[in-house]
Structure 1
Amino acid sequence: MSPLAPTPARTPPIDLATLPLDYEGFRTLAQDGRLTDHEKIGFPPAYREGFEDAIWTDITAKLPMLIEAEGQTVVDIGPGCAALPKRLIELCRDRGHTLVLADSPEMLALLPDVAGVTRKCEGLFPNNAAAVSAVAGAPADALLCYSVLHYIHLDASSLDFIDATAALLASGGRALIGDIPNLSKRRRFFATERGQAFHRAFTGSTEPYDVTQDAPAPGKIDDAVLASLIARAQSRGCDAYLLPQGPDLPMANRRDDLLLVRP
């Protein structure tokens, strides 16, 4: 570069809080070379880096067939492109599982193709549920949808999501719909002194954190939404359970897991 040439302007940092985090928004993030893998899936690095082992342990405890069986059919809805789906791909290769990865084409392009293991299905679930079933070629023994339901909740019907998920499961199959932000649980936590102390430590603020328990929050998942999803799964022939996350997970104090089991 000529010494007289102007210095190129620095690209401003990404503020994830200002971006539309929906299916189309994540397609855009996946193509942004400025972002880390965690940022491409909507997380500031501090929310995920260093926690992958604990998250993985929690997932495999709730989907034990991933590590205890061989030759399973596994479906990952909205895997993104960070460390967890890559770890799942390696596990499926080691255990002889077939793994269906369902996400946008932009996200799927960031995940490796492993012959005889990975099958990719583009599109927004549950709208592409028939395609996912066809690509899988068999009912799912294990289905994982982690940190994704609250985005699907904005783009599609959560009840349709439960219907499609239940329909994919084999007899004895399990679906872990994990890391669901529960607004009711969040409000309960931050209304306590422990929650207030957590907020002060996280933000550095000395001001009390105002928690309005009954304020409407359109588009958010709360106790009532989760209860309706449990009832819907039961009506579709599955047992359904709301489970806590391990205490060493980064957002266990304000998120829940939903487990569906096909008898």
Structure 2
Amino acid sequence: MLILWPRFTPSHRSAFMSQVSFDNFAKAATQTDLVDTEIAGRYPFQALAERRILSDLIQKLNLQPADRLLEVGCGPGNLLIPLSFFVSSATGIDNLPAIERMRKRAPGAANLTGLAGNFLELDTGEARFDKVLVYSVLHYLASEEEIFAFVDRCLACCAPGGRILLGDLPNRDRKRRFGASEAGQAVRADWDNQVTQAGSHAFDTLPGDQNLVAINDSLVLAIMAHVRQRGYEAYLLPQPLELPFGGSREDILITAHR
């Protein structure tokens, strides 16, 4: 059975996401008319591309059967539930409605744990995780200062020899470079067509968030330098084009020495 540790109330200040975005994702998770792909902030037509994320994560994190996996910002479990089949234990942190939705989707998952609350304040005791996943989350933070605090918390949760994947970073400079290429222009035309056919996005009626950090080349490199100064290794990895935003996004892989 999925374990639910309810340590969050809707009025609680989030420290791993801008409050407006945190509240928006929590509200979306309560909507019974939305599919889980929409609750994760994507369009329904991205469901197939979303499933392709899994093989990319398994390879980059080098998931093993004995691994203890943590996902921060797990949403309704679109990634964590299937990844739980590849590891010894899988723990997800997010807002309470998302954690409850994940519990309902996988009621019999004995190795799946949901923690509802503030990532920087949750007490995980002495627990350390072999693999830590943060996917499509960092750009919802409010400042560079919050990003570095968030990354430091991830480092503190990582076991010796472990891996951390800061995934799906929407680097504006990378997006600009890719958009100027022939392949990028083709992807953009296809994207615009699909968005037009979709008509609307699940978050269109929710408040816009103007308090978000801008991720660019300088910040990506600063994150890597920050990690290396703390004794870890950091590598910049591309995403396959067939992922939801593959051409314009990239990942940072962090490895801890034993």
TM range (shorter): 0.7 to 0.9
Write the distance in 2 (CA, Å) between the matches of 1:249 and 1:149.
18
Contact 1:163 1:232 in 2 (8 A): no
Equivalent residue runs for 1:198-237 within 5 Å? 198-204=187-193, 219-237=213-231
Q: CA RMSD in A?
A: 2.5
Write the distance in 1 (CA, Å) between the matches of 2:183 and 2:241.
14
The one-letter amino acid paired with 2:72 is: I
Cross-structure match for 1:22: 21
Cα offset for 1:89? 2.8
Describe the SS at the equivalent of 2:101: coil
Write the distance in 2 (CA, Å) between the matches of 1:36 and 1:69.
29
Write the distance in 1 (CA, Å) between the matches of 2:150 and 2:239.
22
Deviations 1:151-178 (A, max 9, x none): 1356970000111111111110001111
1:188 aligns with 2:177: yes
Deviations 1:164-219 (A, max 9, x none): 11111111000111111111101111123332333234325xxxxxxxxxxxx972
Write the distance in 2 (CA, Å) between the matches of 1:144 and 1:186.
23
Cα offset for 1:32? 1.4
Cross-structure match for 1:16: none
Cα offset for 1:236? 2.0
Write the distance in 2 (CA, Å) between the matches of 1:180 and 1:146.
8
Contact 2:144 2:213 in 1 (8 A): no
Describe the SS at the equivalent of 2:58: helix
Deviations 1:81-129 (A, max 9, x none): 153222123333xxxx12221111111001135565122222132x22x
Describe the SS at the equivalent of 1:251: coil
Cross-structure match for 1:8: none
Cross-structure match for 1:45: 44
Write the distance in 2 (CA, Å) between the matches of 1:228 and 1:148.
17
Aligned with residue 152 of structure 1, among 141, 150, 164: 141
Aligned with residue 159 of structure 2, among 164, 170, 177: 170
Cross-structure match for 1:238: 232
TM-score computed with the length of structure 1 as normaliser = 0.76
| Structure 1 pair 153–244 and aligned structure 2 pair: CA distance change class (3 A) | farther
Q: Which runs of 5+ in 2 are unaligned?
A: 1-18, 194-210
1:108 aligns with 2:107: no
The structure, 1 or 2, with the larger RCO (C-alpha pairs under 8 Å, 6+ apart) is 2
Q: Which runs of 5+ in 1 are unaligned?
A: 1-19, 205-216
Describe the SS at the equivalent of 1:246: coil
The one-letter amino acid paired with 1:189 is: F
Write the distance in 1 (CA, Å) between the matches of 2:74 and 2:57.
13
